Structure 1
Amino acid sequence: MKSKLIMSGLAALGVMAGTSGAYAQDAERDAIAERLAPVGQLCLQGQDCGTAAAPAAASSGGGGEVDGAGIYNNVCMACHETGAAGAPVRGDEAAWAERTEQGFATLLEHSINGIGAMPARGGNPNLSDEEMEAAVAHLVSPVMEVPELGGGEEAAAEATDESASDDMAAADDAATAEPAAEEAAAGGDSGLDGEALYASIGCAACHAAGVAGAPLIGDADAWGPRIEQGTDALYQSVFNGKGIMPPRGGSSASDEEIMAVVDYMVSQVQ
């Protein structure tokens, strides 16, 4: 009887030891997977960016303050640490110089509503204005003095009002330029410098490096099928956006300016 009890006890200890070892191996694998997980995801306007790019609410722990650095690391750094799609790199004073002159409220408004290739709220619609404010503050803190946080919605609303006024003025300018644009569409010579516009309105950011599949300027093989569609089709693709390219390439350029850029890019492969 005693030997049976001893044998049963040893068997039980063996099962427990085996189970404990399996749990330890699982925990180790989970830890390795967590360490190897990517810190961010590149997400451009027009893509299905998902809603899990960052926690809906990130706090610093005890004080309840929003963790701007954590949101930045989860959502923003994929572009702003690498310069992907022309994003200004964090801490690069030269790249941020003109942007910081616009003021923190305008930068916040751009991050909330999107600008250029950057989608609204960095591609995570779950982020609140307060969380966006904290993330932007962390992003720009090396290159500008950040105002006291807490007025995210008010600051963004103020900047949006100013932006709306600018948009109305731009719309008036576009209406004035429409006849000239129609002339250019019909084959007229606008006299605009397409090469200079290509660099200044942001097209070079993608088409000089092939970012996100953009056809490289001068690459006849990449442009051949596109040119076969006709120049008017190319114009419309830029006006309306195509694939991950936002309408007008994310710029405020007029129709005439965009057509001059398209004409320049086509000329590089003909």
Structure 2
Amino acid sequence: MKSKLIMSGLAALGVMAGTSSAYASDAARDAMAERLAPVGQLCLQGQDCGTAAAPAAASNGGDSIDGAGIYNRICMACHETGAAGAPVRGDEAAWAERTEQGFATLLEHSINGIGAMPARGGNPNLSDEEMEASTAYLLEPVMDVPELGGSDEAASDDVAAAEAADETVSEEVVEADVAADEEAVASAEDASNGGSGLDGEALYASTGCVACHAAGVAGAPLIGDADDWGPRIDKGIDELYASVFNGLGVMPPRGGSSASDEEIMAVVDYMVSQVQ
């Protein structure tokens, strides 16, 4: 009798344990399903996506670009010294007429080039956003720079103001820019570079080398000055090439340009030919 009671009790406990285990298993499965549920739903363009919305695109505003760093690598050689007539950063008198044109026009000049300054400061690899950031850094001391990457409406207003201000630019400034461009083109057409197939004189102007070597900026040897070039030529042409490839003194590597090795060597050959 006692044995039957024990067996009955064990059977009842087994049923209860099985029921509890089933409940526990259901709860565990529900919790696991919730944890494994996707956090979002992929919705392709053209599909009926219901209330699904595409995530906002990550912002890459101009403030994430190091405008000061780009300026120090590419722009400072001229805009800290005034080489080739470049307005010096922070010189309000030099910038007065230019800032009246508005930021949009000055940015356009930075991107497309003006006068002796080549497009994008001589580095065609710089993006429009990088040019905007470096130009903003250059202009901060002398004008109120608009928010980088601003709305199209704000940009349109700036362009309209710049176009209106352009009408006040003197004819002398325009004629000087045109004359400088025509002189550069004429020089490029007449130049040759010792059979290398590259026009060293044209490259000398287009890569921005003229800005420093035509004025002796920061100790740069003057083009055509035998006294300046004599000790350098004595070191050998390979040493001259290496100085440009790697940078020397305040001159950045490759003169701050993206010219190929062959183009850089053609520029060096041209400058050396002017004193031999």
Please, what TM-score do these two structures have when normalized by structure 2? Answer: 0.40
Q: Determine which structure has more spread, i.e. the larger CA radius of gyration.
A: 2
Please, what TM-score do these two structures have when normalized by structure 1? Answer: 0.41
